[in-house]
Amino acid sequence: MTKTKKYVRILKARYESSWYADKIGEVFELTGETVSFYDVRVPGVGRLVNVEDAELIVTEKRPAKVGERVLITEKPVRKDYEIYEPVTVDNVNIYGVESYKNGRPIFLNHYEYEVIVSNEVKNEEADEINKMLVDQAKTVFERKDDKYFGYKSRLGDIVIGGAYSYAFVVHYAKTNEDVVIIPGDVNTVTTPVCTTEAERLWKPEKTAQERRDEIVEQAKADVERLRTNNRLWRTFDITFDINRESRTVEAVAKKLNSRTAFYGTAICAPDDCFNIHIGEAIALHRALGLEVPDEYMNAPQPTEVRVGDIVKLIHNGEVIDEYRVSKIEDDRVYDHDNTWAPKRTLKIIDDSRTEVGE
């Protein structure tokens, strides 16, 4: 079997603080990968690159054929090409290959390059998934610029080829299920308006507390997924340092059998309610170099006091007491000493409820 290798070319840097912000166009050898990031080899250390910021290059170590593209992998002795530069093969002989750059021939020995191979299987799988989504949908819109055109309608209430506005699609999605859209600029299909919010669009609007509950559960699942992926890939050992007094969460992603570690911190705003689960999700995303979902940064504040919450008792604008809720009866909220206060006088400052198994 032909030996393959993988490299990562930096295409962009979403954040100016990323270590590769000044390395656009450079190529690094891949040492590991997950769904969300690439682990690349940089002299002396391992570094993470967001998959959305990079191009994955797969190569095979074998003699190239005319028309194939190769990646130069040996430091050049001549000045007419660069290491990790891709070139197209124009001629082949027993010693190497020849390519033309700016009208001038470039000769590479066989040991100086690797053949770039494309992964068409993933594209075929994606096409099958897209076709299945369209076939199963009740209504399909096709997006072109700022308009949506009717593509399919099992219910007969959408005109095929008819033009619809963004506002109409949002309204339609709120009252109908199984609606998808074919974006005009990419070869994929998604739910309308669309990606992550599609399920919410057609369901009744949720209260702030319901939305916060969903976000907390999403954060728990997110953290568990990322930790599981790293265990399976044997990439990082992930730990958390939680400080309830300073209302901070720090995530540490330490490379196995190495002193290399990546850190991420989440700090709760003074007027916000602290939640360990949301804090862990934010900190872990930052430690792994991933984009933090907006819902974690803008989660609604809790509105319903529950057992296990930490609350402040406020009277005439001043904090009188602070305690953990042990019992709630009607409008009375009790602490462990069976002292109570009316719900309306309390402000929830921590709804992690880890002590009650949440």
Residue 287: closest CA among 255, 259, 258 = 255
| SS3 state at 105 | strand
Q: How far is residue 354 CA from its own chain's centroid?
A: 26
- Which residues in 2-73 belong to E strands, given as ranges? 4-10, 27-33, 37-42, 45-50, 54-60, 69-72
pLDDT attached to residue 333 = 95
- Report how far residue 120's alpha carbon sits from residue 177's, in angstroms, rounded to the nearest whole number: 33
pLDDT attached to residue 238 = 94
Residue 281: closest CA among 269, 268, 300, 271 = 268
Structure tokens at 322: 């602070």
- 173, with CB counted inside 10 A (0-12, 13-18, 19+), is buried
Fold of 208-297: Double Stranded RNA Binding Domain (3.30.160)
* Averaged pLDDT, groups of 10, the chain, 358 residues long: 83 83 88 81 76 88 89 77 85 83 76 78 47 74 74 80 75 73 50 37 64 91 86 86 96 91 94 96 92 88 95 88 94 92 94 82
pLDDT attached to residue 127 = 53
CB atoms < 10 A from the CB of 5, how many?
14
What residues contact 313, with CB distance under 8 A and at least 6 apart? 319, 320, 321, 322, 323, 341, 345, 346
**What is the distance between the terminal CA atoms of the chain, rounded to a whole angstrom?**
50
- Report how far residue 6's alpha carbon sits from residue 14's, in angstroms, rounded to the nearest whole number: 22
Write down the residue that tokens 């309308």 correspond to: 192
The single-letter DSSP state of residue 257 is: T
- Report how far residue 95's alpha carbon sits from residue 113's, in angstroms, rounded to the nearest whole number: 12
Helix (H) or strand (E) holding 280: helix 276-287
- Report how far residue 305's alpha carbon sits from residue 314's, in angstroms, rounded to the nearest whole number: 14
- Quick one: residue 112, left, alpha or beta (phi over 0 = left, psi -120 to 50 = alpha)? alpha
Domain boundary assignment for the chain: 4-117, 121-201, 208-297, 310-356
CA angle 244/240/44 to nearest 5° reads 140
Helix (H) or strand (E) holding 116: strand 113-117
